[in-house]
Chains A and B, each alone.
Chain A
Amino acid sequence: MNLRADMTLTAGELVSLYGHSGAGKTSILRMLAGLMKPDGGYIKVNGVRWYDAAERLHLPAQKRRIGVVFQDYALFPNMTVRGNISYGIRQREDNYLTDELLDLTGMSRFAGSPVQSLSGGQQQRVALARAIASRPSLLLLDEPLSAIDNALRLQLQETLYHVHRRFQLTTILISHDIDEIVRLADRVLHLDNGMIEAHPNPGIFFYRDGSGLTGRVVHIDEQQIATVLLRERIIKINAAGSGIAAGEQAAIFYDGAAPFIRKL
Chain B
Amino acid sequence: MIDLEPFWLTAKLACCTTLCLFIIAIPLAAWLSRRSGLFRTVIEVLVSMPLVLPPSVIGFYLLVVFSPGGAIGAFIEQWVGLRFVFSFEGLLLASMIYSLPFMVHPIQAGLSSLPPTLQEAAWSLGKTRWQTLVQVLLPNIRHQLLTAVVLTLAHTVGEFGVVLMIGGNIAGKTRTASIAIYDEVEAPNYHNANIYALILVCLSFLILFILYWSNRKRGHYPMW
User: CA separation between A75 and B223, bound complex, in Å?
Assistant: 9
Which residues of A, 74-102, contact B by the 8 Å Cβ criterion?
74-78, 87-88, 90
Q: How large is the interface on B (under 10, 10 to 19, 20 to 34, 35 or more residues)?
A: 10 to 19
* CB-contact partner of A70 in B120, B139, B140, B221, under 8 A: B120
Chain A contacts of B122 at CB under 8 A? 76, 87
Would B140 and A76 count as touching, CB distance under 8 A?
yes
Chain B contacts of A90 at CB under 8 A? 125-126
The reply on B83 being an interface residue by CB < 8 A is: no
The reply on B197 being an interface residue by CB < 8 A is: no
Would B120 and A78 count as touching, CB distance under 8 A?
no
Would B125 and A88 count as touching, CB distance under 8 A?
yes
* CB-contact partner of B125 in A35, A77, A87, under 8 A: A87
The residue among A70, A90, A116, A131 with the most chain B CB atoms within 10 A of its own CB is A70
Would A72 and B120 count as touching, CB distance under 8 A?
no
Chain B contacts of A130 at CB under 8 A? 121, 125
Would B121 and A68 count as touching, CB distance under 8 A?
yes
Which residues of B, 73-131, contact A by the 8 Å Cβ criterion?
115, 117-118, 120-128
Would B222 and A66 count as touching, CB distance under 8 A?
no
The reply on A60 being an interface residue by CB < 8 A is: yes
Which residues of A, 41-85, contact B by the 8 Å Cβ criterion?
60-63, 66-68, 70-72, 74-78
Q: Report the minimum CB–CB distance from B143 to chain A (whole Å).
A: 12
The reply on B136 being an interface residue by CB < 8 A is: yes
Q: How many CB-defined contacts (below 8 Å) exist between A and B? A: 61
The residue among A68, A71, A115 with the most chain B CB atoms within 10 A of its own CB is A68
User: CA separation between A116 and B124, bound complex, in Å?
Assistant: 21
Q: Which residue of A lies closest to B128 (CB)?
A: A62
The residue among A60, A70, A71, A74 with the most chain B CB atoms within 10 A of its own CB is A74
Would B124 and A61 count as touching, CB distance under 8 A?
yes
Interface of chain A, helix or strand or loop or mixed? loop
Would B221 and A77 count as touching, CB distance under 8 A?
yes
User: CA separation between A34 and B127, bound complex, in Å?
Assistant: 13
User: CA separation between A9 and B23, bound complex, in Å?
Assistant: 46
Would A74 and B117 count as touching, CB distance under 8 A?
yes
Would B121 and A116 count as touching, CB distance under 8 A?
no
Would A62 and B115 count as touching, CB distance under 8 A?
no
Would B140 and A77 count as touching, CB distance under 8 A?
yes
User: CA separation between A90 and B128, bound complex, in Å?
Assistant: 12
Would A72 and B115 count as touching, CB distance under 8 A?
yes
30 contacts across the A-B interface (CB closer than 8 A) = A34-B123, A61-B123, A61-B124, A62-B123, A62-B127, A62-B128, A63-B126, A68-B124, A70-B117, A70-B120, A74-B117, A74-B118, A74-B120, A74-B121, A75-B121, A76-B122, A76-B136, A77-B140, A77-B223, A78-B136, A87-B122, A88-B125, A115-B223, A116-B222, A116-B223, A130-B121, A130-B125, A131-B124, A134-B124, A134-B126
Kindly list 15 other residue pairs between chains A and B, CB separation below 8 angstroms, not including A78-B136, A88-B125.
A33-B120, A61-B120, A62-B126, A62-B127, A68-B121, A75-B223, A76-B122, A76-B140, A77-B221, A78-B139, A90-B125, A115-B223, A131-B124, A134-B124, A134-B125
